[in-house]
Amino acid sequence: MINKIWGLFILIGIVFTLLFGEVSNLNDTILTSASGGVKMVLELLPILVLWSGLMKIAEKSGVLESISKVFRPLLGKLFPSLKRDSKALGYITSNIVANALGLGSAATPFGLKAMEEMQKENQDKKVASDGMITFLVLNTSGVTIIPTTVIALRLMHGSANPEEIILPAILATLCSSVAGLTLDYFRRRKRK
């Protein structure tokens, strides 16, 4: 799937620019986007290294396990395929909590760790497991409770009430998460 999308982006982008756009811009885009990618990795790198270190302490001291214990009843229902004592559950919880609080950059390391742990339990290492898909649907349907960047931008542009979008955003998030999880549930069952 990702193979096709990646190819389509490049094909459409280049052909459309050749037909209607500025070829010199295209040249710049191709040559500079790699360095844009490097910049993103470099921005992520320190957070990733720091949080992975801290989370290792949390894992060894049992904090991570306590966190996942609290949410285990709920997560067990959402992720029936994961083992009850799976380390992934702790990382999934941490990722969702960090995301919900609008700490996007702190959430990514947890999410990547959750994927790693689920991959250890995965039977076919090339194919996404049920747990991974449910986790990503939950993650990308955006459980943001406090969209900090949006509120900051609204404030900057002189909104009378920058926070007024929090409640509608939570309601809309609820709709999209429930819709995503429901669809995931049925498509998972259909396969069996």
Partner 1 sequence: MSTISKIIIPLFVLFVVFYGMKKKVLIYDTFLDGAKEGLVTAFHIFPSIIAMVFAINVFLNSGILETFFQILSPVLSFFQIPLSILPMAFVRPISGTASLAIMNDIFIKLGPDSFAGRLASVIQGCTDTTIYVLALYFGSIKINKTRHALSTGLFADFVGIVASFLIVSFLFG
CA distance 147 to 143: 10
- Stretch near partner 1 under the rule CB under 8 A, chosen from 55-63, 73-81, 83-91: 55-63
Find the binder of partner 1 among 48, 69, 71, 121 (CB under 8 A): 48
Q: Secondary structure of 168-180 in the HEC alphabet?
A: HHHHHHHHHHHHH
Give yes or no for a contact between 106 and 94, defined as CB atoms under 8 angstroms apart: no
Neighbours of 166 (CB within 10 A): 15
For residue 5, give both structure tokens. Answer: 């999308």
- Closest contact distance (angstroms) between CB of 152 and partner 1 is 8
- Stretch near partner 1 under the rule CB under 8 A, chosen from 18-26, 68-76, 77-85: 18-26
36 binds partner 1 (CB under 8 A): yes
Angle, helices 104-121 vs 87-100, to 10°: value is 160
Closest CA to 143 of 82, 74, 64, 87: 74
151 binds partner 1 (CB under 8 A): yes
121 binds partner 1 (CB under 8 A): no
CA distance 163 to 174: 18
Find the binder of partner 1 among 68, 70, 175, 192 (CB under 8 A): 175
- Enumerate residues 79-98 that contact partner 1 by CB under 8 A: none
142 binds partner 1 (CB under 8 A): yes
What residue type is 113 in one-letter code? K
- Stretch near partner 1 under the rule CB under 8 A, chosen from 1-9, 69-77, 82-90: 1-9
136 binds partner 1 (CB under 8 A): yes
The dihedrals phi and psi of 134, each to the nearest 5 degrees, come to: -60, -45
Find the binder of partner 1 among 65, 81, 103, 121 (CB under 8 A): 103
- Stretch near partner 1 under the rule CB under 8 A, chosen from 39-47, 71-79, 81-89: 39-47
Judged by CB, which is closer to partner 1: 75, or 143? 143
